């Protein structure tokens, strides 16, 4: 079922959904099931599965030289989505990214997803790999999320890259995109970020999931700006509890967000790890309750494949 259909059928009742990482190479699907089993009890409407690009690593050769290899540490996004839908009968949503894919690769992946009865994709440009200062697209690949949306919508119309194909099958993917209440870190300002967000909606995006945030006012202002620009598709807030002292530094560094002063000061005063975790949980529970009062279409939790905190929060608010 499409995300938009889930929202419509909920009749105003907020949805619960989660995002997980694929297991590391060398692990099996049971690692995913172990993460999801406690969360499935909360009846999530859908489960997102992230996609991770190859990283370049250097390995020692016998002659002492270093050889460059491409390695994907978390393969299997499409297969994990198929396993989730088969095992739990819950809609799984793969992340579809530009980096690491040619347009042919993308089309083939979409064909596979269509064969697997996967109805939704979350379309993202993707981040640069560690060895890149800026994002570098594949040769003959999509350079921007907007181009990726155009390719998905073309397939939804039965338009394939090979224009000689006749009587082609039309796919019917529901397209999700990312929204940034505190703007994308590469955008020079929020106004330009909003301009490109609207372009993605005009190209065919069906719903928005936001980057994580810890200040609800940022989300409220973001929604207001969207509606003023006639961006009227559902905007699902993405949230995550702060759980370690180190995240005071890593979350702003990695996700380019602000942490509220009150939250940061409470964490700084904490005497041990458990206190920090409890502060983060209480903040996220209160944040979630305020978002529900605002009338959000759902709450999307970034679990990082750690289900315990998400389960505690969901039990407290749903």
Residues designated catalytic:
19
Tokens of 238: 């993405």
Return d(Cα 136, Cα 44) in angstroms, integer. Answer: 35
Return d(Cα 291, Cα 298) in angstroms, integer. Answer: 9
Could you report how far apart the first and last alpha carbons of the chain are, in Å?
22
CB 6 within 8 A of CB 45: yes
In order, the DSSP letters of 186-224 are TSSSHHHHHHHHHHHHHHT--EEEEPP-S-HHHHHHHHH
b/e map 190-216, b = 16+ CB within 10 Å: beebbeebeebbebbbbbbbbbbbbbb
Q: Is the dihedral of CA 57, 60, 65, 67 positive or negative?
A: negative
Q: Is the dihedral of CA 219, 225, 226, 227 positive or negative?
A: positive
CB 109 within 8 A of CB 101: yes
Tokens of 15: 């949805």
Tokens of 136: 């570098």
C-alpha triplet 264, 243, 248: angle, nearest 5° = 35
Return d(Cα 187, Cα 118) in angstroms, integer. Answer: 32
Return d(Cα 181, Cα 184) in angstroms, integer. Answer: 8
């Amino acid at each position: 079922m499409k995300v938009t259909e889930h929202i419509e059928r909920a009749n105003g009742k907020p949805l619960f959904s989660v995002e997980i990482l694929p297991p590391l190479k060398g692990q099996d699907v049971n690692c995913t099931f172990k993460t999801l089993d406690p969360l499935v009890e909360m009846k999530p409407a859908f489960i997102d599965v992230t996609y991770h690009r190859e990283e370049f690593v250097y390995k020692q050769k016998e002659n002492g030289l270093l050889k460059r290899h491409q390695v994907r540490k978390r393969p299997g996004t499409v297969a994990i989505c198929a396993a989730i839908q088969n095992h739990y009968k819950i809609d799984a949503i793969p992340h579809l990214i530009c980096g690491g894919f040619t347009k042919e690769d993308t089309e083939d992946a979409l064909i596979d997803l269509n064969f697997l009865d996967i109805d939704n994709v979350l379309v993202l440009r993707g981040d640069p790999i560690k060895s890149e200062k800026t994002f570098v697209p594949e040769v003959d690949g999509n350079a921007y999320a907007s181009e990726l949306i155009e390719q998905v919508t073309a397939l939804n119309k039965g338009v394939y890259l090979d224009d000689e194909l006749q009587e082609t099958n039309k796919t019917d993917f529901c397209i999700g995109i990312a929204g940034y209440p505190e703007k994308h870190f590469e955008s020079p300002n929020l106004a330009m970020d909003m301009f490109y967000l609207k372009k993605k909606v005009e190209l065919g995006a069906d719903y928005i999931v936001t980057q994580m945030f810890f200040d609800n006012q940022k989300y409220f202002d973001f929604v207001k700006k969207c509606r003023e620009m006639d961006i009227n598709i559902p905007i699902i807030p993405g949230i995550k509890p702060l759980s370690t002292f180190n995240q005071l530094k890593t979350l702003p560094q990695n996700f380019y967000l602000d942490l509220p002063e009150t939250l940061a000061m409470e964490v700084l005063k904490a005497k041990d790890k458990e206190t920090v975790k409890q502060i983060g949980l209480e903040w996220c529970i209160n944040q979630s309750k305020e978002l529900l009062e605002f009338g959000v279409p759902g709450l999307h939790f970034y679990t990082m494949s750690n289900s315990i905190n998400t389960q505690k929060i969901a039990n407290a608010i749903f």
